[in-house]
Amino acid sequence: MKDTNACADDTCRAPVSQRTQVVDAPGTSATVKLKIDDHELNIPMGTTILEAARELGIHIPTLCHHDDLCVAGVCRVCLVEVEGQNTLQASCAYPITQPITVKTHTRKVRQARRHIIDLLLSKHYGECYSCFRNNNCELQSLAKEYGVDFFRFGHPEKPLYEVDRSSYSVVRDMNKCVLCRRCIRTCIDLQEVGVLEAAGRSDGTTISTYLDKPLGEVVCINCGQCINRCPTGALRAKDRTDDVWAAIDNPEKHVVIQTAPSPRAGIGEEFNQEPGTPMTWKMNTALKRCGFDKVFDTNFTADLTIIEEGTELILRLYKNLVQSDSSQPLPQFTSCSPGWVKYIEHFYPEYLPHVSTCKSPQQMFGALIKTWYARMNNIDPANIVSVALMPCSAKKFECNRPEMRDSGYKDVDNGLTTRELAQMIREAGIDLPEMPKSDFDNPFGTATGSGVIFGSTGGVMEAALRSVIEFVTGKKVENFYDHANIIPVRGFEGCRYAELQIPDEVGPVPELIQHLVPNWDWLKGATLKVGIAHGTANAKKVMENIKAGGKFSECHFIEFMACPGGCLGGGGQPIPTSPEIRAARARAIYAEDAAYGDAGKARKSHENPAVLRLYSEFLTNGPCGHKSHHLLHTHYTARGKYIG
């Protein structure tokens, strides 16, 4: 396989020291001398004072700065004193281009920072005890760090703004906003959605939507990335834990929960564990002690998604390449990310026919819970409460979409974020890291390594390729890739393009899909072209490339994820987030996949025995058959209108 990094993340989100290029020429140098708090060093020209201080282990407080975002320098909390300059300088936005001497903790600096924090508090209405960011609020931490013991410049006595609860996913409370503009930079620069903007000037500035409309009425894609970067409680996910507790406490309700892989790789951070500490099996025990009747693995339907989506891709290829039927156009886009689906609905609706009709694993699970599972266990679906633990705030919107009721009921009743489940576990008096391990419940406790890696960018593509390679060649994917690890589709580049050469020798069509295609002769020697993008800013690059007739337009299959890093960087994951934290979570996911292989368990979706049982007992028409289409797929017309 050949892979090409087509377009990486916007360079404005890389640290200055990594993105500045200085060309050696006569009379110039690539480094510059810096003295900071009695430390002397040579640093790359263009490095900011803040970056240099961090390299030396010198703490400078920040508020508007975030490792994922462009430099803003608006809060001024990171002020330092530069010798020879009358005014203090924002260290996050000061690139060093000549030798300077910096003091980071003089009396003048300390007083200025304290006054800035006092001014921020004078506009920040809220009571810390009832705030979901209590003990994880950057403003609260700064107030403690700088010894704030009274409100020097006053404090709001009542809220000035009505809390916006119009969205299924995100709650906005501008009374707690400190105008750091992280949410704006996240929405405009990181995601390129552009829902939020600064309105007004001076002390009349507010963070607003278009025409100050409620969030539920604008083109918000519900990704929740603004929540993950907000330093206070001005943005939060809409919490439904009270509804879940009420269901658990109701003896007439049968409450089941499905858990996705990314929360299991991230929830440990809520309990002071290092990022990337896996909690899968301990969390199963904690959930049962919380009172859930059954704990299931979303990876089961991730495997099911691969079978359905992979079959759909094969059918699209066959129709386009053999039958010259373009009614289901290529490339096929993944549909697992509800934030991405919302993005394409808003910004590229003409491309909706390219989106796979497959529901996400969450929604496939919900449909099966209230049909197959209910029938097997003789439970009235009306008494089943289906809960989904997801890393994603957009999943809350997804489960409330009107089309997600193919079981005859609301397929998934409530979506919980990783943060919300952590709070439930704490409420139950459970110390998660100390829990014994336990397995998932049947019949949805059997999954594969391919289901696990769905959580990382490139994971859906890798899982699909593992199965497609074996479907077409009749050989083990390990014959082509060591330990079935398809490395070319892994990584955190913003966009990735890869090519897979299908050999001239192909195998027989597997029994599971023999009714759909007669043979693989039409694929002999063909080149399968695939693409991957994570974060909607990168999705936009790929879509514009497709519109311009670029190389992504030649792809057959493209994986899109709305969130940076994929699901492991979702808007419902623990706060804070950073490239390093997301990379640690990814390592946990891939380690769990490898552990499946080490334990002799299946790592390919089509080898999942529980999924095969599902097809033999329930979805008897096979993948993309009539029954699976009814329960597991949605349908769009060429105009993008949902038709059933």
Written as one letter, the residue type at 500 is L
Per-residue pLDDT reduced to its tens digit, 281-315: 999 999 999 999 999 999 999 999 999 999 999 99
277, pLDDT greater than 70 = yes
Q: Which of 92, 220, 290, 336 is catalytic?
A: 336
Per-residue pLDDT reduced to its tens digit, 118-128: 999 999 998 89
Pick from 29-33, 35-39, 119-123, 467-471: least confident: 29-33
CA distances, 464 to each of 305, 330, 522, 550 (Å): 9, 16, 20, 24
Q: What is the DSSP letter of 251?
A: T
Instruction: Give residue 202's pLDDT band: very low, low, confident or very high (50, 70, 90).
Output: confident
The CA dihedral of 232, 456, 613, 310, to the nearest 10 degrees, is 120
Strand order, beta sheet including 89-90: 39-44, 31-36, 100-103, 79-82, 89-90
Instruction: Give residue 29's pLDDT band: very low, low, confident or very high (50, 70, 90).
Output: low
Is 398 a catalytic site residue? Answer: yes
- Give the pLDDT confidence score for residue 351 in this predicted structure: 97
Residue 135 burial (C-beta neighbours within 10 Å; 0-12, 13-18, 19+): exposed
- Residue found by looking up tokens 């979409």 in the block: 401
| Whether 183 contacts 235, CB under 8 Å | yes
Helix H or strand E segment including 42:
strand 39-44
Is 308 a catalytic site residue? Answer: no
Is 567 a catalytic site residue? Answer: yes
Take residue 176 and report the two structure tokens written for it: 């707690």
Residues contacting residue 281 through CB under 8 Å, at least 6 positions apart: 437, 438, 439
640, pLDDT greater than 90 = no
Domains and CATH numbers, the chain: 115-237 (3.30.70.20), 311-358+447-632 (3.40.950.10)
Take residue 288 and report the two structure tokens written for it: 């049962």
Longest dimension (CA), the chain: 83
Instruction: Decide: helix, strand or coil at residue 131.
Output: coil
- Give the pLDDT confidence score for residue 34 in this predicted structure: 95
Q: Which of 51, 269, 398, 420 is catalytic?
A: 398
- Give the pLDDT confidence score for residue 598 in this predicted structure: 85
Instruction: Give residue 641's pLDDT band: very low, low, confident or very high (50, 70, 90).
Output: very low
Instruction: Give residue 555's pLDDT band: very low, low, confident or very high (50, 70, 90).
Output: very high
pLDDT, mean over the chain: 92
Per-residue pLDDT reduced to its tens digit, 227-264: 999 999 999 999 999 999 999 999 999 999 999 999 99
- Give the pLDDT confidence score for residue 30 in this predicted structure: 87
SS (H, E, C) 521-590: HHHCCCEEEEEEEECHHHHHHHHHHHHCCCHHHHCCEEEEECCCCCHHHCCCCCCCCCHHHHHHHHHHHH
Q: Which of 356, 360, 407, 628 is catalytic?
A: 356
Is 493 a catalytic site residue? Answer: no
Residue 477 and residue 467: Cα distance in Å, rounded? 8
Is 312 a catalytic site residue? Answer: yes
The answer to whether the pTM exceeds 0.85 is yes
CA 310 remoteness from chain centre: 22
Take residue 528 and report the two structure tokens written for it: 């399968």
Written as one letter, the residue type at 114 is R
Q: Which of 20 and 516 is assigned the larger pLDDT? A: 516
Q: What is the DSSP letter of 510?
A: P
Backbone angles phi, psi at 461, to 5 degrees: -65, -45
How would you classify residue 267: left for phi > 0, otherwise alpha for psi between -120 and 50, otherwise beta?
Answer: alpha
Q: Which of 270, 312, 420, 470 is catalytic?
A: 312
Start-end of H helices in 206-252: 225-229, 241-248
- What's the whole-number mean pLDDT along residues 140-155? 95
- Give the pLDDT confidence score for residue 227 in this predicted structure: 98
Q: Which of 40, 162, 274, 403 is catalytic?
A: 403
Take residue 182 and report the two structure tokens written for it: 């992280």
Residue 169 burial (C-beta neighbours within 10 Å; 0-12, 13-18, 19+): buried
Start-end of H helices in 291-356: 299-321, 338-347
| Whether 173 contacts 163, CB under 8 Å | yes
Residue 24 burial (C-beta neighbours within 10 Å; 0-12, 13-18, 19+): exposed
- Give the pLDDT confidence score for residue 636 in this predicted structure: 52
Is 180 a catalytic site residue? Answer: no
What are the beta bridge partners of residue 41? 34
604, pLDDT greater than 60 = yes
Closest residue by Cα to residue 139 from 434, 151, 579, 443: 151
- What's the whole-number mean pLDDT along residues 339-344? 97
Per-residue pLDDT reduced to its tens digit, 348-402: 999 999 999 999 999 999 999 999 999 999 999 999 999 999 999 999 999 999 9
13, pLDDT greater than 50 = no
Take residue 303 and report the two structure tokens written for it: 């495997």
2, pLDDT greater than 70 = no
Give the side-chain half-sphere CA count within 13 A for 271: 29
Residue 137 and residue 116: Cα distance in Å, rounded? 17
Q: Which of 567, 592, 604, 628 is catalytic?
A: 567
- Give the pLDDT confidence score for residue 120 in this predicted structure: 96
Query: Could you tell me whether strands 39-44 and 557-561 are parallel, antiparallel, or unpaired per DSSP bridges?
Result: unpaired
CA distances, 128 to each of 134, 155, 232, 577 (Å): 6, 13, 10, 22
Is 70 a catalytic site residue? Answer: no
